[in-house]
Every structure is written in structure tokens, then in C-alpha cells.
Amino acid sequence: MNTALSSRAFADVTKLFHQVSGIHLGESKHSLVTGRLQKLAIDAGEPDLDRYVERLVTGHASAEEMTRVIDRLTTNETYFFREPQHYNDLADRLAEHDRAQPFRVWSAASSSGEEAYSVAMLMTDVLGQSPWEVIGTDLSTAVVDSARRGLYPLDRADLVPPDYLKRFCLKGQGTHAGSLLVAPSVRERVRFMTANLMQPLPQLPLFDVIFLRNVLIYFDNDAKDQIVRRVLTQLKPDGVLYTGHAESLSTLGLPLRLLGTAIHAHA
């Protein structure tokens, strides 16, 4: 039994992952990929990692197995109210919004849902029962399912305002001690679905604000260009796009103008 992953198998599986997701995993991720594939290989009845990868790349794995591989190799680390400057900017926009008109926000790489729920807490606070909607999408079916549950470790909520914790979160008791559950009144206003930003998007409305944060760092420039242009088709003419503070779009020649730190609008 071979539980190690050879350099050739690593190159093969990361090439396959790149073709499906657009995400590039460099050699520095060798240990991470090995660890994440080991349990999948055992569960599939092929504990030899190189032979397991051969099954994947030669098309002998089922669609369900490939979905599990994509889920395992997708990195999903986030927390509530990450990069709070964007939430401050969003709060200002919500305060000026005509409440007779619906306000829609898309968390385009929503991971396990903390970003989408952070937005929903803010919109509940500012807009109340006025018409608004939050949609979260992610490549991974596993994290989308997790997001719908809305159950999180308490340590991901360090940046949640204390008032929001009281109003919009339920503290876990008993077997759920150390966890929080996003309140049903917030969860029911957020819709999650799977979407691959490198492929045609599911049917979506136009959005006033799109969050596309801390995901572009995993793509090469060509893929970044494709993703941003695809996402921009869903942004209203007067809408704004938030990207991660460490993600620069300035060299891509995109039809954007910069309004503030990692805040963009149509050019």
C-alpha cells in the first residue's frame, strides 16, 4: 500500500483540478493534497494514492467521486466580518438606498457562508423588512451544504459586533457548546447554491454589490480576467465590486475604476 503521492501523480491530479476549477495548486501544496486525498482513496477502495490518481485522470472515477475530490481540494477558510472596511462601505450604501427598491448582494465565493451571513446581519440591521436578498455561491458542494446549516465555531465570530451576536446568533448549548447558530430570521434571507466561476454561471439576478474576495489569489492572470469579466455581467451599472485587499486587478486591463481600497465600479 502506497500512502505517499509521487511528484508525477501530484502533477497529474493538480493539472486535472486546474482544468475543472481553474485553481492552481503549486508544489508547496504537495502535503496538503496528499493529506486530503488519502481518506478519499481509502473510502474508494484504492488506498494506493498513485493508483487512485490514475483512476481520476483516466476518467475511471464517477462524477460523484470527482465532486468529492473537488470538495476536498478546495480551500475554505474564512470568518465573519473579514476585512471590515467593506462592510463599513456597504453600510453607507445601504443607508442611502431607496428602500422601495430591492437591494441584492452576491457573495460569489462564499465558502462556508460567513461572508454571506455577515452581509445579511448588516442588511437586517439597516434595511429591516425592506426588500433585499443575499445569494452565496461556491464551487464546493460540501461547504454550500455547511453554509445552509449556519452552524459555526465561536472563534470565527470574533469580529461580529456584540449587538449582532445578541440579535442574530444563538449560542450553542450542550453538545453544541462552543458553537453559534445563525438565527433563522437571518438564515431564511440568504440563498446558497453551487457555482463554478470558471464556467457559465447559474441563472442569477443583477446585483447592487458583489463580493469576490480572497479567491482570485488562487488563479493565474488569464483565469482572473475570465472570472472578473464573467462576474461583472451580473453587476448593475451603478453597482460595486469588492475584492480581497491582497488581490490586485490593476494589471489585467479590466473595464473597472477604483473607488477605494479593493472597491471597484464599472469603468
Rounded to whole angstroms, the Cα distance separating 241 from 206 reads 12
Model confidence over 219-241: pLDDT tens digits? 888 999 999 999 999 999 999 99
Model confidence over 7-59: pLDDT tens digits? 999 999 999 888 877 777 888 889 888 988 998 888 888 888 999 999 898 88
* Residue 66 pLDDT greater than 90, yes or no: no
State the pLDDT at residue 1: 55
Mean pLDDT of the chain: 91
Tell which wins on pLDDT, 215 or 235. Answer: 235
The answer to whether domain 7-73 has CATH 1.10.155.10 is yes
The CATH label, of 3.40.50.150, 2.40.40.20, 2.60.120.650, 3.40.1190.20, for the domain at 84-266 is 3.40.50.150
Average the pLDDT over each of 162-171, 222-231, 246-255 and give the range with the smallest value: 246-255
State the pLDDT at residue 226: 94
State the pLDDT at residue 186: 97
Model pTM score:
0.84
All CATH 1.10.155.10 domain ranges in the chain, comma separated: 7-73
- Please identify every residue annotated as catalytic: 36, 138
Cα dihedral sign, 252-256-257-262:
negative
All CATH 3.40.50.150 domain ranges in the chain, comma separated: 84-266
Residues 6+ apart with CB under 8 A from 174: none
Query: For 185-208, what is the mean pLDDT?
Result: 96
